[in-house]
Structures are given as C-alpha cells and as structure tokens.
C-alpha cells in the first residue's frame, strides 16, 4: 500500500459512522480511493512551463484545455521544507496526464511531487463547474455541499478513456 493509500484509509476510518444524510461517500478520501488510482511521477516535460504555486486547480485546467490532456484531482505528496526538517503530507492537488501516456503525471505546479493518487475527470465537466461556481477544483466543493460525494451526484464527471486496441471478446 502506498503512503497516499495509507493516508486515505486512515482518514476514512476516522470519519466512520459520521456520514451526513444524502451522501454516497463519507469523505473526499473515500471518493478518491473508490474512483482514483496511483500515477507515476516524472520530471516536468520541457515543453510544460512552471506555473504559479498554490494555483494547481487553475494550472491543471488551463493545461488540460490547451493541450487536450486529462485533468486529474486527488492527493499528492510534495516535500515541504519546514524550519526543522523536511516533511511529507498528502495534500489535495490537481495535475494532468497525456492520454498517450496515461500513467505519467504532468504537474505544472509542483517541482518536487513525490507521489500522486487521483481521479481522472471529464474536462468539460470541470470547466462547467468552474464557470458555475467561479472557483477551480471540483472534489472539495464545500460551497455546494460536495456534489460529487452525494447520492444525487451530477452526471458526466468521469473521464471516459478511449481504448484504441483491438476489441476483446
């Protein structure tokens, strides 16, 4: 089990039995664990600019729209320098993947991402949510009561991977 999966399981356990009415998932962590997966880190490709720190949702959406890449939200681990040591903390984060290499992280925000676990989202859905809410990021949409975690979650949020290989019968 990865560090992020351990964190997700721990947070789910902490919130056991505390799910509000109308919710299908008790937390963002549970949603991410159910619908997400691990991604592989790589150095940022040379043709991807370093974008503004602390604007990961905006940065990833902008890149996904410009390049036709897949927008991903979930948890990442970045090394955070502190006064006394360097520590790692799973953090809600956004990045992209190129459909041609769907396991490799393209992170326009962090320079030192160590681990990534997230959910591939339909970019059109993410754009629509950003326009409606005037905010970036869809998993932690607390302003609207976490719609993706609800029993009546909106349709069209999940990225539909196109398989180009031969049909399997």
From residue 119, how far is each of 35, 72, 73, 78 by CA, in Å?
6, 5, 6, 18
Whole-angstrom distance, CA of residue 122 vs CA of residue 153: 14
* Rg of the chain over all Cα atoms, to the nearest angstrom: 16
Token pair, residue 52, equals: 């503004």
3-class secondary-structure state, position 60: helix
From residue 136, how far is each of 54, 61, 126 by CA, in Å?
12, 8, 8
Beta carbons within 8 Å of 139's beta carbon, 6+ residues apart: 28, 31, 32, 73, 74, 92, 119, 146, 148
Helix, strand, coil percentages in the chain from 3-state DSSP, rounded to 5: 30, 30, 45
Whole-angstrom distance, CA of residue 40 vs CA of residue 32: 16
Token pair, residue 53, equals: 């720190």
Reading the chain (169 residues) residue by residue, the pLDDT tens digits are 999 999 999 999 998 888 888 999 999 999 999 999 999 999 999 999 999 999 999 999 999 999 999 999 999 999 766 555 556 789 999 999 999 999 999 999 999 899 999 999 999 999 999 999 999 999 999 999 999 999 999 999 999 976 554 444 4
């Amino acid at each position: 089990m990865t560090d992020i999966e351990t964190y997700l399981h721990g947070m789910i356990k902490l919130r056991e039995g505390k799910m509000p009415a109308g919710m299908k998932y008790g937390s963002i962590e549970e949603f991410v664990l159910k619908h997400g997966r691990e991604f592989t880190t790589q150095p940022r490709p040379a043709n991807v600019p370093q974008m503004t720190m602390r604007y990961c949702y905006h940065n990833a959406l902008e890149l996904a729209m410009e390049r036709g890449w897949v927008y991903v939200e979930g948890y990442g681990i970045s090394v955070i320098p502190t006064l006394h040591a360097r520590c790692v903390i799973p953090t809600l984060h956004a990045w992209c993947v190129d459909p041609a290499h769907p396991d490799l992280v393209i992170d326009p925000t962090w320079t030192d991402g160590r681990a990534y676990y997230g959910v591939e989202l339909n970019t059109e859905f993410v754009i629509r949510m950003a326009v409606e809410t005037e905010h970036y990021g869809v998993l932690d949409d607390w302003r609207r009561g976490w719609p993706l975690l609800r029993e009546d979650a909106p349709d069209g949020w999940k990225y539909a991977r196109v398989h180009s290989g031969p049909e399997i019968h």
